[in-house]
Amino acid sequence: MKPRIGVLTSGGDCPGLNAVLRGVALAADKLNLEVLGFLDGFEGLLPPGNFILLDRRTTSGIMPRGGTIIGTTNRGHFTAKVGAGDKAVVATEVIAEAKRVLKEHRVEALIIVGGDGSMTTALQLQEGGINCIGVPKTIDNDLEATAMTFGFDSAVAAVTDALDRLHTTATSHKRVMVLEVMGRHAGWIALHGGIAGGAHLILIPEIPFDYDKITDAIKMRDTRGSIYSLVVVAEGSRPADGQAVMRPVETGEFRFGGIGSVVAAEIAVRTGKETRCTVLGHLQRGGAPTTLDRILGTRFGVKAVKMIHERQFGSMVSYQNYQVRQVPIADAINRLRLVPVDGEMVQTARDVEISFGD
């Protein structure tokens, strides 16, 4: 009987997860390990254990597919976080059940692919006696412990494509087009997508905006003869004298979303220009991964298996200085990587006449 390892994907999905799973399956096969893919995030660890075998056959051809072939969830019995800083403790009996299921199925170590909340859970499982390796995942790209995560590049590509499309219709109608994108606490998607897509204003959570400044920037473009404007708004952005916009979801929790239409309405009133809002939403999380995300996902999956082989439990894969390395999971959680407001990216954007509404 081959030794067994497990893998699960947890939290919001993103392009590149299947590249990780394929990387795990193939690297494990090389080490003569069998891989169980637990279904629907940590929920698959509940008795009697819900999983499929991940091998050459079941992972064949999955690289270009978005999402995750083993499913995911950002709620359930193992949820350790609801929002930034809201740490919750996973019940001891739930951890004990997961441990029992893993033992029954002879799983010696578990690879957890997820974001900050999932890593918080991973650490609690590790402390509860389950051998865990973390693989960071967030399209928001806001984990301090890794310079980059897969999924981000695909999300930025979706934003760039949306802006290219909005550009042509904006110029035809001489309109202001507002595009709301993901980014609850960090504006990386808005910043990168906005620069690549030629936006004229980019609003991010790190730089609270002022409606007067937004109006000035649009009117300035008008006086220069550019009578249309593209505005990218990260969902967590807020005016300097106001709050972020949240909306309730089915569970009764509140999620970011809606700032785009608030900004669009204000621009229309203040400039008198025809203004439209598009919310890109989950289009940023779906579809095929970019080349970069396929490669990064593969490297992360292979590295996670190597870390199991080296018994580096309690560690998370990390991308630093073009190398895939590892860091303790404990050092990775609760540390958001925000856009440096005086950094080179923001300055570059300002130098190509992008306004941050400040």
Residues that are catalytic: 140
Q: Is 137 in the site for ligand F6P (CB under 6 A)?
A: no
Residue from 20, 179, 182, 218 touching ligand F6P (CB under 6 A): that is 182
CA angle (152 as vertex; 206, 16 as ends), nearest 5: 155
Helix (H, G, I), strand (E, B) or coil at 189: helix
Element (H, E) at 116: helix 116-127
Select 36 or 159, whichever has its Cβ closest to ligand F6P: 159
Select 184 or 303, whichever has its Cβ closest to ligand F6P: 184
- How many whole angstroms separate alpha carbon 349 and alpha carbon 206? 15
Per the DSSP assignment, residues forming a β-bridge with 247 are: 255
How many residues bind ligand F6P (CB under 6 A)? The answer is 12
- How many whole angstroms separate alpha carbon 198 and alpha carbon 209? 19
Select 12 or 16, whichever has its Cβ closest to ligand F6P: 12
Site string for ligand F6P, 209-238 (x = CB under 6 A): --------------------------x---
Residue from 12, 194, 297, 301 touching ligand F6P (CB under 6 A): that is 12
Q: Is 285 in the site for ligand F6P (CB under 6 A)?
A: yes
Helix (H, G, I), strand (E, B) or coil at 164: helix
Write down the least CB distance from residue 117 to ligand F6P, Å.
9
Element (H, E) at 256: strand 254-256
- How many whole angstroms separate alpha carbon 11 and alpha carbon 113? 9
CA distances from 187 to 44, 170, 339 (A): 33, 23, 6
Write down the least CB distance from residue 135 to ligand F6P, Å.
15
> Do residues 227 and 219 touch, judged by C-beta distance below 8 A?
no
Give the footprint of ligand F6P on residues 60-79 (CB under 6 A): 74
Write down the least CB distance from residue 281 to ligand F6P, Å.
8
Select 209 or 256, whichever has its Cβ closest to ligand F6P: 256
HSE, side-chain direction, 13 A CA sphere, residue 124: 22
> Do residues 175 and 218 touch, judged by C-beta distance below 8 A?
no
Q: Is 138 in the site for ligand F6P (CB under 6 A)?
A: yes
Q: Is 256 in the site for ligand F6P (CB under 6 A)?
A: yes
Write down the least CB distance from residue 204 to ligand F6P, Å.
13
Element (H, E) at 323: strand 323-328
Residue from 34, 40, 43, 140 touching ligand F6P (CB under 6 A): that is 140
Residues that bind ligand F6P (CB under 6 A): 12, 74, 138-140, 182-184, 235, 255-256, 285
